[in-house]
């Protein structure tokens, strides 16, 4: 059994016009101890909804989330059950996720009380700050006194203070300046290796994911379409959407190569296309793709994809 | 690189802004930028580097309270500076701008057709039918499906990528010669970004459009720009051809920015963080503003503001130490 197990998860919202939008349509994800699993996809694919449901911030419409052997309960008015407090979340915007009126030492002390509550390892505020590369002497300062990158370090220190076993991080570096992105990415890799936590890293940026994640999961319009070891996915994608995403990435190499265009837009999730959801944009779709939804199947050990033509794509 | 006089030249531009405590702070400090006809020039840098302000000065769109020095020339006419009268007409007709968020340029309550043609009627003095025809052709050129029907629809009825296409069509409808694009794809998904980048490249080729591309994304820069300027703390620290600046950067800041990005194979290029963060306006360090973050800094870097000096054909850096000279040679 994995540390974090998402099984056949559904998340639904009621849209503006009353139509029901299925943001997550039956997804499975596993995160093991000491492993970084990336969930990538474009805006509106449902990756954030999946992440929020995984930590109990929204109530799934179906399926289950299990953390460390116990089901994750959606957060209500009551305190979170002790075992679940070792599942922590880091958000995209370190400007809104830290209370501006409290010194950062207090914010981190909240996390330490969580660790005490579940009988976890108790770290001091100073230890937590130093662990994320900040000085222990800054605990009495307020969030606004820090840059975006430093604030994200503080948010990570707060999550660490709770002595987590698993962290779900939703776009934790995309709001940061380029120079800060690398340092936060490297910090997360270090922490996972050091503390043996599991990390579900949600991101739209496949090029950074390739650098840090052990396993990459690609999501399109509510469905997982491919899962593979990160470098293997990058080198030989099995799903045409993964291939399209990789081709669209620009490389800062000075060579002047224009990225490949993947025509069309992501369809309205309230009315997903029949058959394979990607077929209207797929450059290699065959008639079967418009009528029969492809199963998410194993292609070879460690490689899964939901495409009728995955073998052809792999080459 | 540019045989003829540039279409747009920004000369010794300085911009100072009022600060919260009633003082003034220099945000742009002696910047020179030239753009040739049909050329795509990239302006790179992190937040607070002055890249957007420099472009806004050319457009006459600086925030109130800003004061400027230097001048901006467009096709031989002075847009900003002592002889800058009548610049508004030139700006409206020959210069256009596209922003990161297309909704800042598109009026949410006006149909696509209305906002595109109003602009045309004002700047080109043509009839409504003719304006409609031009607008539809431009929507078609930026690959909006069913452009005739799109004219009657409103911005919110389109996706983010389509809105940016409409904003570009709207900016180009009056036939400008220079497009200033400020982070035009930053808010978009990569697959949508790819389409917009290809569109800009095609427009440059077909219309001989000049483009000033402002972005912090060096990947986008690498896809489009012919030449690149890297800005830091209100000054240009490196400029040169795309290949020179992006594959052989000589300034430690430009090099640091590139090393912090995922590129090439993970084994050859591990992610290397650049320490610290860019200084905010009013807090630029003395001497070379990058010196507190630079691992090569020497005494001279703390004392003098370095000048831009050539290090190769059309390639210049503002770094007296030039620590990468040996590595790059």
**Nearest-by-Cβ selection for B46 from A150, A177, A182:** A177
Contact assignment for A252 to B195 by CB distance below 8 Å: no
- For chain A, which residues score pLDDT lower than 70? none
pLDDT at B210: 97
CA-based nearest residue to A88, from A105, A109, A111: A111
* Residues of chain B contacting A186 with CB distance shorter than 8 Å: 271, 273
User: Residue A246 contacts by C-beta under 8 Å, 6 or more apart in sequence?
Assistant: A206, A234, A237
State the smallest CA–CA distance between residue B258 and chain A in angstroms: 7
Q: Which helix (H) or strand (E) holds A2?
A: none
pLDDT of residue B85: 66
Residue B328 contacts A, CB cutoff 8 Å? no
ipTM of this complex:
0.88
Which residue in this structure is represented by tokens 């400020």? B182
Q: Are A166 and A198 a contacting pair, CB within 8 Å? A: yes
Low-confidence stretches of chain B (pLDDT < 70) are 1-4, 82-86, 328-329
State the Cα–Cα distance between residues B226 and B213, nearest whole angstrom: 10
pLDDT of B86: 67
Residue A28 to residue B294: CA distance in whole angstroms: 45
Minimum-distance CB partner of B277 among A147, A206, A250: A147
Do the Cβ atoms of B302 and B291 come closer than 8 Å? Answer: yes
Chain A residue whose CA is closest to B267: A211
Put simply, the answer to whether A182 touches B274 (Cβ < 8 Å) is yes
CB distance from B192 to chain A under 8 Å? yes
Output the pLDDT for position B328: 58
* Burial zone of A232 (CB within 10 Å; 0-12 exposed, 13-18 middle, 19+ buried): middle
Quick: pLDDT tens for A263-285: 887 888 888 999 999 999 999 99
pTM (predicted TM-score): 0.91
Triad A29, B260, B188: Cα angle to 5° = 60
Chain A residues within an 8 Å CB radius of B275: 183
Instruction: Report the pLDDT value the prediction gives residue B81, as an integer from 0 to 100.
Output: 72
Strands B67-74 and B8-18: antiparallel
Q: Which residue in B has a C-alpha nearest to residue A258's C-alpha? A: B223
The pLDDT score that the predictor gives to residue A311 is 95
At B60 the pLDDT is 85
- Residue B292 confidence (pLDDT): 96
For residue B128, the distance in angstroms to the closest alpha carbon of chain A comes to 31
- pLDDT, position A118: 87
* Structure letter (DSSP) for residue A132: T
Give the DSSP H/E element, type plus range, for residue A187: helix A178-195
The confidence score (pLDDT) of residue A81 equals: 82
Interface probe with B: pick from A94, A249, A252, A264, most Cβ of B within 10 Å: A252
């Amino acid at each position: 059994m994995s540390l974090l197990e998402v099984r056949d998860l559904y998340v639904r919202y009621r849209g503006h016009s009353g139509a029901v939008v299925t943001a997550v349509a039956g997804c499975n994800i596993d995160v093991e101890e000491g492993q970084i699993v990336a969930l990538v996809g474009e805006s509106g694919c449902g990756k954030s909804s999946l992440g929020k449901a995984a930590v109990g911030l929204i109530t799934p419409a179906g399926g289950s989330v299990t953390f460390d052997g116990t089901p994750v309960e959606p957060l209500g008015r009551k305190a979170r059950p002790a075992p679940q407090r070792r599942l922590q979340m880091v958000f995209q915007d370190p400007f809104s996720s830290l209370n501006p009126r409290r010194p950062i030492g207090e914010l981190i002390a909240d996390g330490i009380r969580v660790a005490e509550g579940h009988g976890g390892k108790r770290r001091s505020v100073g230890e937590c700050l130093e662990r994320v590369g900040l000085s222990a002497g800054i605990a009495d300062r307020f969030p606004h006194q820090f840059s975006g990158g430093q604030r994200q370090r503080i948010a990570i220190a707060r999550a660490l203070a709770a002595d987590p076993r698993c962290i779900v991080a939703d776009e934790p570096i995309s709001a940061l300046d380029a120079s800060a992105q690398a340092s936060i990415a490297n910090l997360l890799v270090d922490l996972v290796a050091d503390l043996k936590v599991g990390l579900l890293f949600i991101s739209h940026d496949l090029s950074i994911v390739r650098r840090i994640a052990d396993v990459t999961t690609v999501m399109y319009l509510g469905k997982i379409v491919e899962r593979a070891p990160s470098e293997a996915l990058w080198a030989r994608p099995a799903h045409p959407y993964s291939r399209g995403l990789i081709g669209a990435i620009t490389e800062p190499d000075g060579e002047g190569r224009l990225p490949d265009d993947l025509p069309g837009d992501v369809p309205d999730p309230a009315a997903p296309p029949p058959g394979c959801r990607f077929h209207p944009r797929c450059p290699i779709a065959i008639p079967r793709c418009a009528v029969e939804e492809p199963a998410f199947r194993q292609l070879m050990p460690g490689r899964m994809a939901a495409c009728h033509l995955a073998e052809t794509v792999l080459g | 690189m540019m045989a003829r006089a540039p279409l747009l030249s920004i000369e010794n531009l300085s911009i100072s802004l009022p600060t919260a405590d009633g003082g003034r702070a220099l945000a742009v400090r002696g910047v020179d930028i030239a753009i040739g006809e049909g050329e795509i020039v990239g302006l790179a840098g992190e937040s607070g580097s002055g890249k957007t302000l420099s472009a806004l000065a050319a457009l006459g769109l600086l925030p109130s309270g800003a004061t400027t020095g230097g001048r901006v020339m467009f096709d031989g006419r002075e847009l900003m500076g002592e002889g800058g009268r009548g610049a508004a007409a030139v700006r409206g007709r020959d210069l256009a701008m596209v922003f990161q968020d297309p909704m800042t340029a598109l009026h949410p309550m006006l149909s696509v057709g209305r906002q595109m043609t109003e602009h045309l009627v004002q700047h080109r003095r043509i009839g409504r039918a003719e304006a409609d025809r031009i607008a539809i052709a431009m929507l078609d050129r930026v690959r909006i499906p069913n452009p005739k029907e799109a004219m009657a629809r409103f911005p919110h009825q389109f996706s983010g990528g389509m809105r940016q296409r409409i904003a570009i069509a709207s900016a180009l409808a009056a036939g400008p010669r220079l497009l200033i694009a400020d982070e035009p794809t930053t808010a978009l998904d990569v697959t949508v970004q790819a389409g917009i980048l290809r569109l800009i490249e095609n427009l440059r080729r077909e219309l001989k459009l000049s483009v000033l591309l402002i972005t912090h994304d060096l990947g986008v820069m690498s896809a489009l720009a012919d030449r690149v300027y890297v800005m830091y703390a209100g000054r240009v620290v490196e400029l040169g051809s795309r290949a020179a600046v992006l594959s052989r950067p000589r300034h430690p800041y430009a090099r640091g920015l590139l090393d912090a990005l995922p590129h090439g194979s993970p084994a050859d290029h591990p992610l290397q963080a650049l320490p610290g963060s860019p200084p905010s306006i009013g807090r630029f360090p003395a001497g070379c503003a990058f010196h507190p973050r630079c691992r090569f800094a020497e005494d001279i870097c703390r004392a003098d503001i370095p000048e831009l000096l050539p290090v190769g054909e059309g390639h210049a850096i503002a770094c007296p130490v030039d620590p990468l000279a040996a590595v790059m040679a």
